[in-house]
Structure 1
Amino acid sequence: MRQNVHFVTLSTPDLDAARRFYVEGLGWEALLDVPGEILFFPIAPGLVLGLFEARKFAEDVGASEPTGVAGVTLAHNVGSESEVVDTVERFVSLGGREIVAPEPGAFGGIFHAIVADPNGVVWEIAHNPGWHVSDDGTVSFT
């Protein structure tokens, strides 16, 4: 098996709230939007984020009941500490929730915050001067 992932799909209790948050609020463009079922967003070259309505997600994976997302964070790196603060403020203004306020991180010299979207998907918003993400999505350590 090749070392790559093409889709990350998350169980989403309120797909309409996700659409309002990501499409209307953050301005993301959906690759595919099937109302009442799933939203797909291209998030990097060769990588798509799927937000799948929770009951349909459970049916698809053979679970007896819908489950939430746990033990996972999505990370978004920005260019400065002030961008961390601005991004967190935007998340909250769109109905997200601040979990950890912007602060210096305990690991790796980062400045970060932890926020959740309206469905509880946890995001780390970070500025890490030791990481570089190029325009093509390649991540490197400096």
Structure 2
Amino acid sequence: MTPRVHFITLATPDLAAARAFYRDGLGWSPLLDVPGEIVFFQVGHGLVLGLFDADRFVGDIAGAVADTSLGGLTLSHNLDSPEEVDETVARLAALGAAVVKPPQTADFGGYHGHVRDPNGVTWEICHNPGWSIRADGTVRLGPVDADDEA
């Protein structure tokens, strides 16, 4: 089987707060927004992040999961500079995100901070100079070379 993911869906107890975090805090445009139910954001080539009202989520999977809380999961958003990290963390905090770790120099040689969204998902907001994406979409972890995109 070819490794790929098309949808990542997170149950959220407060869809309005989650919408504000992603739309207003991260600046993402909804692909589809059904008030009171779900909002989708395209987050990559063929990849959609869905934020699903927790009660509707439980109903959709026929009650197979009763606890929709999240833990042990971190998503990362890589930016072009430490200044963008500071600005983004401040904007998210102003929208009510919990700052878990203020922006600071990271062990990997970059700069990052961590915030928790209204779903309880921890986001690493970072600048990683060793992260690049090649023209074919493959990720490179390490020094940038001539085949990498800026």
For the criterion TM > 0.5, the same-fold answer is yes
Deviations along 1:29-58, one digit per CA (max 9) or x if unpaired, are: 111111221111001111100001111212
TM-score, normalisation: structure 1 = 0.87
> 1:68-92: CA deviations, max 9, x gaps?
1211111000111121111111111
Contact 1:55 1:66 in 2 (8 A): no
1:104 to partner: Cα distance: 2.0
Q: Distance in 1 between matches of 2:127 and 2:19?
A: 26
Aligned to 1:77: 78
Moved over 3 A (4+): 24-27, 133-138
**What SS does the corresponding residue of 2:30 show, helix, strand or coil?**
coil
**In 2 relative to 1, CA 60–75 (structure 1 residues): closer, same or farther, beyond 3 Å?**
same
Match of 1:89 in 2: 90
Maintained 8 Å contact 1:39/1:52: yes
Aligned to 1:19: 19
> What is residue 33 of structure 1 aligned with on the other side?
33
Cα–Cα, structure 1 residues 27 and 131, in superposed 2: closer, same or farther, change >3 Å?
A: closer
Q: How far 1:137 sits from its partner (Å)? A: 5.3
- How many corresponding residue pairs? 141
Q: Offset at 1:25?
A: 4.5
TM-score, scaled to structure 2: 0.83
Structure 1 unmatched runs, 5+: none
Q: Unpaired segments of 5 or more residues in structure 2?
A: 144-150
Q: Percent identity?
A: 54
Measured on the aligned residues, the alpha-carbon RMSD in Å equals 2.0
Contact 1:96-1:115 at 8 Å conserved across structures: yes
Identify the residue that residue 111 of structure 1 maps to in structure 2: 111
